[in-house]
Amino acid sequence: MKFATKAIHAGVEPDPSTGAIMTPIYQTTTYAQERVGAHKGFEYSRTANPTRAALETNLAALENAKYGACFASGLAAIDCLLKMLNPGDEVISTNDLYGGSYRLFQGIFAKYGIVFHYTPMQDAAKIEALMNEKTKLIWVETPTNPMMNVIDIEAVAAVVKRGKAILAVDNTFATPCLQRPIDLGADVVMHSVTKYLGGHSDVVMGALVTNDEAIAKEMYRIQNSSGAVCGPQDAFLVLRGVKTLHLRMERHSQNGDRVARWLLEQDAVDKVYYPGLESHPGHEIAKRQMSAFTGMVSFSLKDDTTAAAHDVLNRCKLFSLAESLGGVESLIGHPATMTHASIPADVRRACGITDSLIRLSVGIEDADDLIADLHRAITEP
Ligand SMILES: *Cc1c(COP(=O)(O)O)cnc(C)c1O
């Protein structure tokens, strides 16, 4: 089956009890058993719930994998993955990554004796230099948030070599519609489902997907043992959101491209970060491993100050000033004081998050209206 068909049908069978075409919201904690041990595959909803199970099957299919697990948030999904490690194990991570992932690594797991190394993975040789027998996890985010750096997943997979360490990719920005890391050699894909997969800014959720049976066993064991599962109502909303993922990503990418090219021509704008631009250093790799370039666009101002950036944010009317991304409506944010404030200032600047850097989540409204809004915000005194 091709992607659009899977988005709509994978994991979603008519309900066996009524024929309902939409997976019902099984708002139940428990399931009556006929005799002790005789049940229909569901015993308790932390362990498994039919609405969540349909979504888990669907998300796994979209990534061309067998096993999926959904969690209460994207960070709860990463938390599950990190709990597969033991004290003393080492992780090599992208240096330019989602601020909350960094906070989870340094603020929570470092104190349990897990050691994190951060390196720019655009050069896969840098990973090789950090690898040793204690390396158990390679954490890749591509495109990165908010610098839109592109990491060559196949090149990283060639360095890591299957079986030596888990290669995990945070595929939140690209979604399986545009990029499928498992096909490129990754072992695990993680999603903040909150973003493009949900797509309507109404659910906080995370997911892990893998094709590796041993990893899957651990994933389900930790999901059930730690219990950070999502509820059935949220699973239903995401099942509905995913049905239009391919249509939304097409429009997000068209609008992202229009906005990025328009920004390039503005006098007040210094740099534009968008992998779809021919001038982007990762453009050739992005063209190879992605089928389009999303609605995420970052840019900096010639007046490189927090005040100048805040002025632009405050003047936008259609772009809502808000954290998060990936919904149908356009959002604008200031990484240094919002999403990435939990990263120390020197670390932040070293990876290019300057004081004037602005991040856009370009929605699926009419691009002319979006550009008019940005024009007003950038050029009005
Ligand atoms: C939002 C986000 C996360 C965290 O997900 P939550 O659902 O907010 O917990 C992780 N990675 C990336 C790239 C994100 O954008």
Rounded average pLDDT per 10-residue block, the chain, 381 residues: 96 92 96 92 96 98 98 98 98 91 96 96 92 96 94 96 88 98 98 98 98 98 98 98 98 98 97 97 97 98 95 96 95 91 82 93 98 93 63
Q: Domains along the chain?
A: 3-242 (3.40.640.10), 245-379 (3.90.1150.10)
The pLDDT value recorded for residue 344 is 82
CB 144 near ligand 1, within 6 Å? no
| CA dihedral of residues 71, 237, 360, 146 (deg, nearest 10) | 10
Spot the catalytic one: 79, 96, 170, 212: 170
The pLDDT value recorded for residue 204 is 98
CB 105 near ligand 1, within 6 Å? no
Distance 339 CA to ligand 1 centre (A): 10
Residue spans of alpha helices (H) in the chain = 3-9, 50-62, 74-82, 99-104, 125-130, 153-160, 175-178, 213-226, 232-242, 245-264, 283-289, 306-315, 345-350, 367-379
The pLDDT value recorded for residue 351 is 80
CA-nearest residue for atom 9, ligand 1, is 74
Q: Is 161 a catalytic residue?
A: no
The pLDDT value recorded for residue 162 is 66
The pLDDT value recorded for residue 130 is 95
Distance CA 223, CA 217 (A): 10
For ligand 1, pick from 103, 108, 172, 340 the residue to mutate: most ligand atoms within 8 Å of CB: 172
Spot the catalytic one: 15, 31, 46, 287: 46
For ligand 1, pick from 141, 144, 194 the residue to mutate: most ligand atoms within 8 Å of CB: 194
Burial 68-96 (b: 16+ CB within 10 A, else e): bbbbbbbbbbbbbbbbbbeeebbbbbbbb
The pLDDT value recorded for residue 381 is 63
Task: Please give the model's pTM, rounded to 2 decimal places.
Answer: 0.96
